[in-house]
Amino acid sequence: LLGLFGIVIILFLVHAWLHISPGLAALCGAALSIVVLRPRVETVLESIDWELIIFLICLFVVVGGLNRSGVLPFLARRLSLVGGSSVLWLALVFFWSAGFLTLFISAVPAVVAFVPIVNELGALGLATNPLWWALALGVGFAGVGTPFATAANIGVVDLSKRGNQAIRYKDWVSVGIPVFLMAGILGSLCIWLGIRTGWFF
């Protein structure tokens, strides 16, 4: 198993040179593990968390529909107008809006909604490095806010239901939101410092 794990890690590191996607590298590792371990099909199917998989599929289908229909890009563009032409204000707007969006629709869709906006602003001649930093920090810090913010959070909540101590939504939010807000304040200071000192350019 350690050998297989090592092979997958190597594939992840060199996938660009091999002209394969990270997903294909992961599938190669999964295929090799099946060949080596040869588990029973029934055992594998029983161990799969179908409820979680179906939930994630439905979540990304809904968010994908919102993105394709232009709802999420429209919201992101409107938010970008708040910052005007100031890179600092734009970065702060991106940081907080991407963070709050992540709390409700998950990290990946939030990033997908903002990426075209950053590219559009870059085409207009605006420095985009601070915006990429703001987007990454906002989405990253917001990942602790709600159970829906990341797929990992959803998995943890689902696993807790199988044990004796299920994590309730209000329990998570009562801790996660304050942590996100405190991290957001620190993140805002980090963005201000990074832009003022030129680190983010």
Tens digits of residue pLDDT in 88-146: 998 999 999 999 989 988 888 888 878 888 887 787 777 889 999 999 999 999 999 99
* Cα 144 to Cα 187: distance, rounded to the nearest angstrom: 14
Q: Which of 197, 154, 176 is CA-nearest to residue 99? A: 176
Please state, rounded to an integer, the average pLDDT across all residues of the chain: 85
- Cβ–Cβ under 8 Å, residues 116 and 126: no
- Cβ–Cβ under 8 Å, residues 161 and 168: no
Report which DSSP code applies to 126.
Answer: -
Give the pLDDT score at 177: 95
Q: What is the mean pLDDT of residues 144-165?
A: 85
CB neighbour burial string for 72-97, b if at least 16 within 10 angstroms, e if fewer? bbebbbebbeebeeebbebbbbbbbb
Q: What percent of the chain has pLDDT over 70?
A: 94
Give the pLDDT score at 85: 67
Can you list the pairs that 69-76 forms with residues at least 24 positions away whose Cβ atoms lie under 8 Å?
72/101, 72/105, 72/109, 72/112, 72/113, 73/113, 73/116, 73/117, 75/101, 75/113, 76/113, 76/114, 76/116, 76/117
CA distance between the termini of the chain: 43
Residue 49 falls in which region: left (phi positive, over 0), alpha (psi -120 to 50) or beta: beta
Give the pLDDT score at 84: 65
Give the pLDDT score at 154: 84
Q: Which of 150, 149, 146, 172 is CA-nearest to residue 160? A: 172
- The whole model's pTM is what? 0.70
